[in-house]
């Protein structure tokens, strides 16, 4: 759901702002959104979210018709107009498509951050394989009825949704659930509906629970070959409760140390809280729920925390582009948990997970992708190695940037320009790009949200 805050933040994974309706540019964004997680195109706003003047409804029909002719196959959309103080704005809603869409020139685009990026041949094959599997989350739950959903959980979801949107919802609840993909048009629960709102989701989808195991050492078995775990729990319920209870288990087993800085005593947990929650939320959101008999597993060892998610990486996502790209296997489940507040902003969680681990003195998370599983490993060792850089590899401006990061933890392009006011923005951008290429800095985020930390 769009909010004034999301519009002010500008274009992103689910939002594009177009001052004027230009068919070719519109077609590119239609294809990109349809191939990724869907999104909204607002025509009549500049990149800062300010209205540019009147856009007429009759013009949009013709422009959309031309844009759709550029798409193979056409992208089905709906649109509406609304009035602002600065003029009319057109909102075009694009849903994620089960089909693979291309432009008439053969390019297959996806939404990467705030840009439309063409895919390579190998990426297209990966995305086509994901599309052909269909959207399991939208399938109806055979035999289930609306009575199998928990009204208290639905009320909680509605309250959280209203809080995020900053306005009340006064329509029928069933219509809202249908729009969210939780109910079919006939009012029957879907896989999404059962996972998010079911009274007993695991009775219908037993693979949707989470198994937590705390091992006493660094291996899954003790020296005598017997099971080496000290605690094993299975977490059940709708997904919001599964995430909350899994976090509670991890927190209850997490070591907490005390650090004294000056006269202030600070408690420091074994792992950064955000990094742990993000690993669990991602596993629950993005696992392949078609794989029966396999559950998300959280394994807590003496030296590390492993979160195993059934199903390989979706779409065109690889370990190499995991930070820069975003693609949801289950976009409706992701949207539901976003309303609950488990997801702060789409596409930024992995960035912040890496940042939190590194800033807290840990090695970066380890990501391992296999055809039918994905594992995130967080290591609890804290090691703040000195950043060794030969002075000859950096110019004076780059040395200023590195020293600034050492003092402040990170640097943005704007802060770098303030350090070097007499140097062009492009030169400074190239300086940071060179430090990233050398492996000295790690780039986090994209476009306006980009910043750099020491690698």
CB count within 10 Å of CB 48 equals: 9
pLDDT of amino acid 303: 94
Beta bridge pairs of residue 296:
210
CA distance 302 to 306: 11
Note whether 207-379 and 391-454 share their fold: no
Could you give the residue ranges of the DSSP H alpha helices within 166-303? 173-179, 191-197, 201-204, 239-253, 273-286
Which CATH superfamily groups domain 4-119? Schlafen, AAA domain (3.30.950.30)
Tokens of 454: 């020491």
pLDDT at 356 over 50: yes
Segment 396-408, tens digit of pLDDT: 888 889 888 877 7
pLDDT of amino acid 392: 54
CA distance 274 to 253: 16
What radius of gyration, in Å, describes the C-alpha atoms of the chain?
24
Please tell me whether the peptide bond between 369 and the residue prior to it is cis, using omega within 30 degrees of 0: no
CA distance 453 to 355: 8
Pick 207-379's CATH classification: 3.30.565.60, 3.90.930.60, 3.40.50.720, 2.60.40.10.
3.30.565.60
pLDDT at 385 over 50: no
pLDDT of amino acid 399: 85
Would you kindly state where each structural domain of the chain is located, as residue ranges? Answer: 4-119, 138-204, 207-379, 391-454
pLDDT at 346 over 70: no
Segment 145-191, tens digit of pLDDT: 999 999 999 999 999 999 888 888 888 999 999 999 999 999 999 99
Burial of 439 (0-12, 13-18, 19+ CB in 10 A): exposed
Tokens of 320: 């190499």
Burial of 400 (0-12, 13-18, 19+ CB in 10 A): middle
The 8-class DSSP code of residue 20 comes to: S
Which pLDDT band holds residue 437 (cuts at 50, 70, 90)?
Answer: confident
Beta bridge pairs of residue 368:
375
Tokens of 96: 């994620």
Domain 391-454 falls in which CATH fold? Arc Repressor Mutant, subunit A (1.10.10)
For the chain, the average pLDDT equals 86
Segment 12-66, tens digit of pLDDT: 888 999 988 889 999 999 999 999 888 999 998 887 778 887 777 777 888 999 9
Report the Cα 368 to chain-centroid distance in Å: 18
In which residue are the tokens 């940071």 written?
A: 432
pLDDT at 258 over 70: no
- Please give the model's pTM, rounded to 2 decimal places: 0.72
């Amino acid at each position: 759901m769009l909010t004034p805050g999301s519009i002010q933040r500008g274009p992103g994974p689910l939002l594009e702002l177009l001052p004027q309706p230009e068919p070719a540019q519109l077609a590119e964004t239609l294809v990109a959104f349809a191939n990724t997680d869907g999104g909204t195109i607002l025509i009549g706003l500049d990149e800062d979210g300010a209205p540019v003047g009147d856009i007429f409804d009759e013009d949009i029909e013709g422009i959309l018709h031309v844009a759709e002719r550029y798409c193979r196959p056409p992208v089905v959309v709906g649109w509406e107009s609304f009035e602002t103080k600065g003029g009319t704005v057109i909102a075009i809603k694009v849903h994620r498509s089960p089909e693979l869409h291309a432009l008439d020139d053969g390019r297959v685009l996806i939404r990467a951050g705030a840009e439309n990026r063409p895919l390579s041949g190998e990426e297209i094959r990966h995305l086509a394989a994901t599309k052909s599997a269909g959207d399991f989350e939208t399938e109806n739950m055979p035999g289930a009825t609306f009575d199998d959903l928990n009204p208290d959980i639905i009320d909680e979801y509605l309250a959280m949704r209203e809080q995020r949107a900053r306005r009340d919802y006064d329509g029928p609840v069933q219509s809202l659930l249908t729009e969210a993909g939780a109910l079919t048009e006939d009012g029957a629960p879907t896989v999404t509906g059962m996972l998010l709102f079911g009274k007993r989701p695991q009775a219908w989808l037993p693979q949707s629970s989470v198994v937590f195991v705390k091992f006493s050492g660094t291996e899954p078995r003790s020296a005598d070959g017997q099971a080496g775990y000290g605690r094993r729990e299975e977490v059940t319920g709708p997904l919001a409760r599964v995430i909350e209870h899994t976090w509670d288990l991890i927190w209850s087993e997490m070591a907490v140390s005390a650090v004294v800085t000056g006269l202030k005593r600070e408690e420091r947990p074994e792992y950064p809280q955000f990094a742990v929650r993000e690993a669990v939320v991602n596993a629950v959101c993005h696992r392949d729920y078609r794989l029966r008999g396999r559950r998300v597993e959280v394994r807590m060892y003496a030296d590390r925390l492993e979160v195993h998610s059934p199903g390989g990486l979706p779409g065109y996502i690889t370990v190499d582009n995991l930070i820069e790209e975003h693609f949801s296997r289950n976009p409706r489940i992701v949207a539901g948990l976003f309303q609950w507040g488990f997801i702060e902003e789409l596409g930024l969680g992995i960035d912040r997970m890496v940042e939190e681990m590194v800033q807290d003195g840990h090695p970066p998370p380890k990501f391992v992708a296999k055809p039918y599983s994905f594992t995130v490993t967080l290591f609890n060792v804290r090691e703040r190695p000195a950043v060794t850089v030969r002075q000859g590899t950096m110019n004076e401006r780059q040395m200023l940037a590195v020293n600034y990061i050492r003092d402040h933890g990170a640097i943005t392009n704007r802060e770098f320009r303030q350090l070097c006011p007499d140097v062009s923005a492009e030169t400074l951008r190239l300086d940071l790009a060179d430090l990233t290429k050398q492996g000295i800095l790690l780039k986090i985020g994209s476009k306006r949200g980009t910043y750099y930390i020491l690698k």
